Amino acid sequence: MPWDFSADPEFEREIEWMTAFVKEEILPLETLDLDFAAYHRLTAPLRQEVKDRGLWAAFLGPELGGAGFGQVKLALMHEVLGATELAPPVFGSQAPDSGNIELLALAGTPAQRERWLAPLLAGEAFSAFSMTEQGTGSDPTQFTTSAVRDGDDWVITGRKYYVSATSRADVHVVMAVTDPDADRRKRATLFLVPSDTPGIELRPIGSMNDPVPGCSPIHSQSEVLYDGVRIAGEAILGGRGGAFALAQRRLGPGRIHHCMRWVGVCRRAFDALCERAVSVSVHGGPLADKQMVQTWIAESAAAIEAFRLLTLQAAWKVDTQGVKASLTDIAMIKYAGAPVMHDVIDRAIQIHGSLGYSTDLPLEGMYRWARASRIYDGPDEVHKVTVAKRIMRGYEATDVPTEHIPTRRAAALARSGVGA
């Protein structure tokens, strides 16, 4: 089947507008050290501009006020938004809200949609997706946080580790085991839990990206204790036992957006690398003339382009064949892209020397955030296992390798009659 990743001229114009908007209106905010409240206040007019242009929450279908772009266009859009972590919230496209909005749109009851979907969509409320438990994040079938029926209510007890955006979340989408004896993929259920429900305790966690918890306006993570948290029966999202199936649907296209944002990060670091190469001369000539630097530039350019095309191909496959047919591609882009992003930023830091290592440039921050990409959304190793298993399903065991030359020679001789 032929590939076509081109966009129509109208969408090309939107990409041009977004590129200029991110560069002129959003990138400067990075330098201001804003907390979330100040960032949210300052970006209100920008969010309105995006809404007026019809680009708000573009991942949604038109029936929910989104642009209904499809994955290739969304991928191209996220490449632009990836330049700075401050851009996706201005476009109503930030994780984890975008994924939670999709879940509510997909599986929410009318009452849940009215209470949570509407304010989340408007950008007036925020959410967290509370799934992982420490040490078993790669294997959700081992989670132990439980929800037990008590009269008409459910009571949730357990501890989740490293949940993003809890400091601003109004609602937690919590995965809890409701049916421990059921098939392992049907044991868990998703619940919508208002963040002010008694029994929820947060412990903010610092990280490589956010050493003092709360210093990043966008990224903040917590350990969350649910200590006998009581919620009404209608808080179930998407049916009892439906957590894994729903979570899977949430993660697929979301990963394409993550990866295209990484391409955006790569481009920014690559531009810094090339700019420095042509700007500084040492040991008798410009850095741009040193073969080692040329190798960095040539290899980075090829790696970024390969990663970008692989990701666009996954997006195109989702658009043309659906998520289920694209699972291998969606798993592949994660571990293909994370090291590319790491290496390009690393070279950009290296060429700037101490300036690159310092906080006078954004490269050290990009480097710290890039390290997380090999872990969140499933560690690289888990995706590699998935891809290898899926590929190997297409192969059968043989007694003699298909390429075995003596066997092939005997067959060729018998067929051609040579030497008979």
Contact 290, 278 (CB under 8 A): no
Give the residue closest to ligand FAD by C-beta.
137
The least CB distance from residue 179 to ligand FAD, in Å, is 20
Sequence-separated (6 or more) residues with CB below 8 Å from residue 8: none
The least CB distance from residue 380 to ligand FAD, in Å, is 7
Instruction: Give whichever of 207 and 320 is closer to ligand FAD, judged by the CB atom.
Output: 207
Instruction: Give whichever of 67 and 338 is closer to ligand FAD, judged by the CB atom.
Output: 338
Contact 348, 272 (CB under 8 A): yes
The least CB distance from residue 253 to ligand FAD, in Å, is 17
Instruction: Give whichever of 56 and 162 is closer to ligand FAD, judged by the CB atom.
Output: 162
Instruction: Give whichever of 65 and 194 is closer to ligand FAD, judged by the CB atom.
Output: 194
Q: How many CB atoms lie within 10 A of CB 391?
A: 11
Tokens encoding 315? 């997006």
Tokens encoding 373? 């990409």
The least CB distance from residue 252 to ligand FAD, in Å, is 15
E strand intervals along 165-248: 171-177, 188-194, 200-205, 221-232, 236-237
Instruction: Give whichever of 164 and 313 is closer to ligand FAD, judged by the CB atom.
Output: 164
> CA separation (Å) from 236 to 45, 117, 309?
35, 14, 39
Instruction: Give whichever of 42 and 382 is closer to ligand FAD, judged by the CB atom.
Output: 382
The least CB distance from residue 43 to ligand FAD, in Å, is 22
Contact 190, 238 (CB under 8 A): yes
d(CA 216, CA 177): 32
Instruction: Give whichever of 92 and 99 is closer to ligand FAD, judged by the CB atom.
Output: 99
Site residues, ligand FAD (CB under 6 A): 96, 129-132, 134-138, 160, 162-164, 221, 372, 375-376, 378-379, 381-382, 385
The least CB distance from residue 333 to ligand FAD, in Å, is 17
Answer left, alpha or beta for residue 373, where phi above 0 means left and psi between -120 and 50 means alpha.
Answer: alpha
The least CB distance from residue 219 to ligand FAD, in Å, is 7
- Backbone torsions φ then ψ of 375, nearest 5 degrees: -115, -50
Instruction: Give whichever of 94 and 313 is closer to ligand FAD, judged by the CB atom.
Output: 94
Within 13 Å, how many C-alpha atoms sit on residue 372's CB side?
A: 18
Q: Give the amino acid at 39.
A: Y
The least CB distance from residue 248 to ligand FAD, in Å, is 13
